[in-house]
A and B are shown apart, each in its own frame.
Chain A
Amino acid sequence: MQAFFANPAVSWTLLTTGGILLVVIWVLLSLAFLLLADRKIWAGVQMRKGPNVVGPFGLLQSFADFFKFVLKEIVIPAGADKVVFILAPLISLILAFVGWAVVPFAPGWVVSNLNVGILYLLAMSSLGVYGIIMGGWASNSKYPFLGALRSAAQMVSYEVSIGLIIITVILLAGSMNLSTIVEKQSGWIWNWNVFGGGLNNLVLLPVMVVAMGMFYISALAETNRPPFDLPEAESELVAGYQVEYSSTPYLLFMVAEYSNIVLMCAMISVLFFGGWNPGFPTDFLSSWHPFAANLFLALVFYAKICFWFFMFAMAKAIVPRYRYDQLMRLGWKVFLPTSLVLVAAVAAWRVFGPAA
């Protein structure tokens, strides 16, 4: 038995599986409360109380909702493409969770320390559109189909600016490995990429602040959050691509959507706000137990994710919905040229600036 576990292939498999399980459970549990937080913040802005019946302060509301979804009947509309109809929410959910594989929570706490981690994240978030298109098409109904077409065009458009903004961060860090990107931002707060990544690069501050703002707005569009929730605009398309979905498949769509949102929050934190770095040197952690030190850093990272989730929720509460042509105009005529200029500026600074 001892020899079996000492086998590197077996121990690697067990460790990785354990890591994946930990991350998935952590994300799911966080989602349950972030979902409640979303509704509470939204309610607070509108001077309502929000869910407050199930459990103290409504803390168990998400779990009650979960059981409600799971125990209801799955309705598959007549004329729907059954296989694709069921496959769509599953694909959405899987793609929303595989992205977490490369997110570094603390030094060494990452499921897969991929060399091209940032590209992997971009790839997985761009694949998320398939769940929506397949769901919309397989429903064999007009509103879902229109919602699916809208989301296809919207997500492809905003991926372009997200990709270009990511290039500015890659240029600053000189690496596509997310752990390396975070390590480059260690030390004082001005080492964070949003401030240009170090005092030498402080000239880049206006460039990176703009890049961060555009990344945040593009992330809203990429995750179909208000004000860009046109694929499910309830005043025009009832609920867009998910009109025909009920019970568990609908639940999967919703969990996938929120997982993507939290993943985007994690991405903003990693790329621009130093990931697990608290903004001051962490030398004092060397006297701590390594596990406690990592836990502290992971909590710092988690706090940043929660802050960005709060920003997402506030955008939902405050900003009115965009019209579709305005959305496309913003993506192609404003964000694309601006992000190209940002990439050129950062590249020029890296080649001709003092840090070169």
Chain B
Amino acid sequence: MPVQAIAFYLLAFVTIAAGLLVVSARNPVHSVLFLITAFFSAAGLFVLLGAEFLAMLLVVVYVGAVAVLFLFVVMMLDVDFAELRQGFVQYLPFGGLIALVIAIEMVMVVAAVATNGAAAKNPLPNASPGGVPNTEAIGRVLYTDYVFFFQLAGLVLLVAMIGAIVLTLRHKPGVKRQDIGKQVARTPKTGMELVQIKPGEGISE
């Protein structure tokens, strides 16, 4: 299908271009916006593969929640990026070396998989095995074969969440907090007091 080919090349080009712009943009907020573009076009690529459930999850979770918080933080931080760039030339050779090693590794792995690995044996992975929609297919695998890994991942997230709360929650003494239950339970009896004052004497505490 030529339409699919056009869509694929468009999405792939946008993904890669946005990825490059993430690292080369001068303004960090622009970087995050390009990152969101990259996520979004990657979701488009998933749709082209027939994996619409993964695509929507990518958009809901990464673009809709994670990247929003990312943007939130980057907008509020006042990072001096000129200062961060100062050591750039100094670290350039070492960084370049690491990048080269990773690039060679990736090329070798991709070549091996394409020539005699899984990709060569099974050229087109089926997005909906056995005729069921891939949402159901993923659910069946996730909640049967990999249920322990799934639970384990949930536990890791729970630990991270509790850790974040423990690290940031502080009860400062002297801060007035609103207790809605207490407010609602307030009656005239608890809230006010009628006092008979004798003239000329006033009230003593």
Where the two chains meet, the residues of A that have a C-beta atom closer than 8 Å to any C-beta of B are 9, 13, 81, 84, 114-116, 119-120, 122-123, 126-127, 129-130, 133-134, 137, 145, 148-149, 152-153, 155-156, 159, 163, 176, 325, 329
Contact = CB atoms under 8 A, between A and B. Distances in A.
A156 B3 contact: no
B33 A134 contact: yes
B150 interface: no
Contact of A159 (B33, B64, B72, B76): B64
A137 B2 CA distance: 40
A115 B68 contact: no
A127 B52 contact: no
A127 B75 contact: no
B180 interface: yes
A84 B68 CA distance: 16
A137 B27 CA distance: 13
B29 interface: yes
A156 B60 contact: no
Given A126-B65, A329-B180, A119 B60 contact: yes
A156 B65 contact: yes
The dominant DSSP class at the B interface is helix
A127 B53 contact: no
Contact of A123 (B1, B29, B59): B59
B65 A149 contact: no
B33 A176 contact: no
A134 B30 CA distance: 10
A129 B63 CA distance: 10
Q: Interface residue tally of chain B, by bracket?
A: 20 to 34
A152 B59 contact: no
Interface of B: 1-3, 27, 29-30, 33, 36, 52-53, 56-57, 59-60, 63-65, 68-69, 71-72, 75-76, 133, 135, 178, 180
B60 A130 contact: no
Contact of B53 (A116, A122, A152, A325): A116
Contacts of A120: 56
A134 B180 CA distance: 35
B72 A152 contact: yes
B3 A159 contact: no
Nearest to A128: B64
B52 A129 contact: no
A176 B29 contact: no
Given A137-B75, A329-B180, A119 B56 contact: yes
